[in-house]
């Protein structure tokens, strides 16, 4: 079974769904039940958990050099045991998510990511950053040393999502006709192929999260 998830647009739903998604994004206790791709109910707030797989392409994380499906990089000043983030960037490509009931295609352009895996690089007075990190920062006009040649206190973090990672997709389920698909019912009775779209509530976003506590039971 192949079902496509397209994360685009919005669907008008009740305030309960919007409230629940926003609570999850803020880190509140998650009330959303986990379901399979096949069992997602129309118009319901769903959580689908599966394994990430590459679709047509992958990208290279700029610091670790790993082949990934999504990454996020932050750069922060470090002083007195605190960080002040002043630069962020990220990229993601469409990918597949599989569970025991089917396969989803996810376009992440309108979604919010929560990453779990990260690599950190810290520079300071007696601690020079790795050459590849310095090269990355200089390409973005970020100074790594002072006028006197001392290392600037910086914390550079890279979060990534790779093929094989477990990910939860949280949003509103919407089934629609799929003209390019194969009907799954007997001819003459609801014989139009269907695909699943996961859509953000009004003023919200679909959540793509790698955090185990979000995956539910």
What pLDDT is stored for residue 181 in this prediction? 65
What are the C-alpha distances in Å from 60 to residues 51, 68, 106, 116, 174? 19, 6, 19, 18, 32
What pLDDT is stored for residue 24 in this prediction? 52
Q: What is the DSSP letter of 201?
A: P
**3-state secondary structure at position 78:** strand
Q: How far apart are CA 21 and CA 9, in angstroms?
A: 16
Q: How far apart are CA 200 and CA 86, in angstroms?
A: 28
Q: How far apart are CA 61 and CA 71, in angstroms?
A: 6
What pLDDT is stored for residue 17 in this prediction? 45
Give 7-30 pLDDT, tens digit per residue: 333 223 333 344 455 555 555 555
What pLDDT is stored for residue 67 in this prediction? 95
What pLDDT is stored for residue 135 in this prediction? 95
What pLDDT is stored for residue 5 in this prediction? 43
Residue spans of alpha helices (H) in 146-195: none
What pLDDT is stored for residue 21 in this prediction? 53
List the one residue out of 211, 85, 90 whose CA is nearest residue 156.
85
What pLDDT is stored for residue 22 in this prediction? 54
Q: Identify the segments of the chain with pLDDT beneath 70.
A: 1-30, 181-192, 217
């Amino acid at each position: 079974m192949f079902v496509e998830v397209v994360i685009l647009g919005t669907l008008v739903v009740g305030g309960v769904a919007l409230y629940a998604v926003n609570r999850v994004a803020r880190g509140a206790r998650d009330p959303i039940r986990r379901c399979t791709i096949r069992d997602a109910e129309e118009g319901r707030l769903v959580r689908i958990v599966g394994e990430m797989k590459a679709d047509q392409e992958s990208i290279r994380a700029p610091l670790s050099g790993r082949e990934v499906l999504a990454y996020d990089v932050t750069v922060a000043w470090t002083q007195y045991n605190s960080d002040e983030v002043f630069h962020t960037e990220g990229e993601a490509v469409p990918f597949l998510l599989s569970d025991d009931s089917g396969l989803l295609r996810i376009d992440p352009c309108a979604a919010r990511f929560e990453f779990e895996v990260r690599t950190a690089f810290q520079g300071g007075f007696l601690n020079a950053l790795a050459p590849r990190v310095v090269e990355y920062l200089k390409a973005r006009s970020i100074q790594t040393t002072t006028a006197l040649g001392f290392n600037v206190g910086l914390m550079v973090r890279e979060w990534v999502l790779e093929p094989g990672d477990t990910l939860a997709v949280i949003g509103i389920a919407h089934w629609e006709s799929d003209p390019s698909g194969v009907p799954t019912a007997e001819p003459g009775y609801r014989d139009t192929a269907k695909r699943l779209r996961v859509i953000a509530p009004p003023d919200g976003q679909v959540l793509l999260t790698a955090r185990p506590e979000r995956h539910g039971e």
